[in-house]
Structure formats: C-alpha cells, structure tokens
Amino acid sequence: MSIITNSSRYNYYDETFDSKSESTIGSGFSATVYRVKPRDKADGQTYAVKRITLSRLNEKQKSNAMKESEFLVKVSSEVAVKYIDSWLEGNSLLYIQMEACDQSLRHILEAKRQAFGRQSAEEPMKCHEWYLSCHIYRELLACVQCLHDMRPQLIHRDLKPENVLIQRQANGQWCLKLCDFGLSTLHNDAMEYYRSSQKDQKESHTQDVGDLRYIAHEVVTSRKYDTKADVYSLAIIGGELFDINVSAINLNNFPDDYLTRDNPLNAAVYEMHKLLDSMFVMKPSLRPNCGQVLDKYDNWSIAKTVVQKDSEVDITVDKLLSLENKFFCDFFLNKLHDN
C-alpha cells in the first residue's frame, strides 16, 4: 500500500514550515533537499524535506520517486534516515519529510586527511586515522547488510558518500544512516533481472541509474544483478575512505613486510587492498557479500590496543579536540574506549 495518498495538500509545505529557517542541503536535476524548521515553535525540531518536481521525470522515474517513502518506512531507522511524512502538492510536486542529520560522509572524507595531519592522499595513514576509518567502514557495511538481510532483499543502487549521513544521537554518540532510496529496488532470488531486448528494458530493475562513478558494470549495462551491485559501490567508497585507488591495485607490488602480521598496520593495509580488489571485480559472483567483508574485519583493521599504546595518540587527540567538526574526536574516542 502506498504511503502517499492520491489527495493533494495544497500549499502544505509553505503553511507548515518556516521559510526563514530554510537552507539547501543538496539539489539535483529534479529534486532539492531543504533543512527547515516548522512554523510551530513547540515542535522544536529541524527536518530534512525533499521536494521532487515530478514533471521533470519519466514514468519510471516517477514510480521510483513515489516508492522512496515506502522504502524508508520498511527500513529500520537505525540504519536509514527516519521517515516522518510525505505528500503531493498538485500533480507536479512530491515532498518527503525526514529527520535531519548533521552531515554526510562526503563532508567527513573532505576533512579527514587534514584532521589527521596528512598533506596528500599519497602520504600513508598512521594507525589513528586507519583505526577511525575502519570503524566508519564497518558501520557503513553493517547498514548495507541490514538492507540485504531484508526479505525480500533491498538493493540500494545509489550508494555514494553523499547518501551516507552522519547523525549525532541524544546520548552523544555518532552513527551512520543511509538516505536517498529513490533508485532502490526489491530483489527476489527467484526472479531474473536483466535486459536483452526492448521488452526486457521496460521490465528490468534498471531504467535509471545514479552516479556512474559508483555504479557496478552490470547495472549500467543492464545485465542480471543482485545485492553484489551494492558491494561494488562500497568498494569505491572504501577506496576514498582509505585513499586507495581501487582501479590500480596490484597485490604483487607489496613489500614483504606487508604480508605478515609483524607490523599490524602494514598487514591491515595489505588486507584492505586485497579486500577492495575482490569487491571491485567485474564479475559479481566473484565479489564477497557484505557479511563476508564484515567477517574479515579483524584482518583489515587494527586492534585498539595498538592505537592506545602508540606514542603519538595524545597528540592526535589534542588535535582532534581543537577541530570545529566534533565528529572526529567524539567518534575516535568513543571507539577507542568502547568495551
């Protein structure tokens, strides 16, 4: 059953929300997301409201847009932005009201290198930054795994740093949440998803795709695909998070000391290269699933004791404390002292 009723709420957005508090979070060809407060001061909350101009979309895209709120309801608010409401204004505007999050993974990626004192992507990470990056990646993998554990499975299809949000909870801890389910689709193992003719094209998962930099080959070329398509996207995101060029990985070029556990960080770096290489392969059946990637966490991460015993950890903490963006220090210390 659709979450959105056929009846329109004319001028509901303007009547409900305070335009003076409105700021743009992001925008695209057909949609803009606003951070806005309600006129009712007693509410006290700030919301994210997505406005979609339906007249700019074809029929398939309109169907995807209408389904987005339904997917948000299906997915746990622990791993996806919380759905609040949705409505139509006339026949041309669709609004989806959600909880507002503090920032996106894109913001974290843009600030992380400088936060940990690296001058360029070529400069190797120290154990402190690697440790934080591993925990971010593990939480992202766990979020996507929740989609894939649903029955039927949910394929996000548009995973990218902009669609991974960072939310500070009431207890002060930070968590990752997925957003933008406009291209998501349900997957049933008993069904075939591919296009080999014009007729297939109308019936397939794929008529529209998201950011091509993160989309798996089989989705772009309309071949049969499943949840492994999201794993490919996660490989690209992982490459950005760990400053690894996934398209240029050569496991034969690693020095011998990277192939043992004698140096925990070197060993983890090698394991991460190996992992991302396996997630990035062309053939979906050869990619691991999210659960298998998570099962190898101890291989590509480093123990908190390594970080705690590092001689420069106090210097790192002091630097993170001085940053305007409190995510880095809060998240780092929380994971470092978590039991």
Q: Which residues are annotated as a binding site?
A: 50
The residue with tokens 């999210």 is: 290
Per the CB < 8 A criterion, the answer to whether 150 and 143 are in contact is no
Q: Using an 8 Å Cβ cutoff, are 104 and 164 in contact?
A: yes
E strands of the chain, at which residues?
A: 17-27, 31-38, 47-53, 83-89, 93-99, 103-104, 153-155, 164-168, 174-178, 185-187
Q: Which of 12, 312, 5, 290 is nearest to 156 (CA)?
A: 290
Whose tokens are 């691991």? That residue is 288
Count CB atoms within 10 A of the CB of residue 246.
18
E strand or H helix that includes residue 200? helix 198-203
Known binding-site residues for ATP equal 50
